[in-house]
Amino acid sequence: MIIRIAGTPVSPGETAKIDANIAKLPSGTIIDIPIIVHRSKKPGPTLLLLAGMHGDEINGVEIMRRIIREKLYKVDKGSVICIPIINVYGFINFSREVPDGKDINRSFPGNRNGSLASQVAHFLMEEIIPHIDYGIDFHTGGARINNFPQIRVKADDEENLKLAKAFGTRFTLNSPHRDKSLRKEAFKHNKRILVYEGGESLRLRKNAIDEGISGMLRVMKYLDMRKEAPASKYQTKMIARSSWIRAKAAGLHYSDVRNGTTVENKEVLGEICDPFGTFQNKIKMPGKGHVLAVNNNPVINRGDALYHIGYEE
């Protein structure tokens, strides 16, 4: 079978770089979205590796750069489609969204005649998703929230769980499908997308990059696309549910807890103080759980999400 993307056919045994053009900027400038497709001569599944859906989430872009630079897409069986920066428009503006302010991952399945975010979603649904069996969508926390490396899947699906276990991050978070997301729309077509979250926006974080790459290699091995993959340091913990600890007051926020650790009930996570020395409040755990993310903003408002806590049951 031939994979055809943006008019370019790629046959088994071929590697191609395709420049897809989805939209022009208001200046008339055409921005290409580079896509690298590698097809082994031997049949097997097709895996999508996608990053930069949120244009300021750079760890995924670096993960993709290393996959391409080290030719990790050269699988023994099946095919790999690499899209290092799907939201090129946001990437050049250091922005999560596309320039009209819309979030691509809330715009699926999209529309050819819709907004820019909707056009990008439509391109993925029409030109990419029909070719694939599985996907890994690389993200980070937004707005200076540092996500400890984690996989998010809808855990009531057995195939999803197997893929998440194969990826082997410390945490696998049960995460119901959100409306208009790639994960939900692809699932309707029986395609499974793992969402990898690691690190924070606009910051390269080595552990999140390394874990993303090694997890991706383990998924390839699980799918029998390659023989070798680095072993995981972890037996992944299933997180059944999670919730945010939010700021009870506005002020300065100091975090004392290490991201990714397990914390007992009533243990102190950090402090909120006002800048004028009036108060200094400790933030305590509401039960035993795992720290999945920490907000690194030093100045916070009442109600801001500070710590994402995961519970095993």
* Binding status of residue 308 toward Zn ion by CB under 5 A: no
Of 38, 122, 131, 139, which one interacts with Zn ion (CB under 5 A)?
A: 139
Residues 6+ apart with CB under 8 A from 277: none
Which one of the spans 10-18, 57-65, 237-245, 288-296 is the region binding Zn ion (CB under 5 A)?
Answer: 57-65
Closest distance of CB 137 from Zn ion, Å = 8
How many chain residues are in contact with Zn ion, going by CB under 5 A? 3
Cβ closest to Zn ion, residue 16 vs residue 202 = 202
Given the complex with Zn ion, which of 225 and 292 has the nearer CB atom?
A: 292
Span from 114-122, 137-145, 169-177, 281-289 in contact with Zn ion (CB under 5 A): 137-145
- Which residue in 18, 37, 46, 54 binds Zn ion (CB under 5 A)? 54
CB 104, min distance to Zn ion, A: 9
Mark the segment that binds Zn ion (CB under 5 A) among 48-56, 143-151, 183-191, 232-240: 48-56
Residues at the interface with Zn ion (CB under 5 A): 54, 57, 139
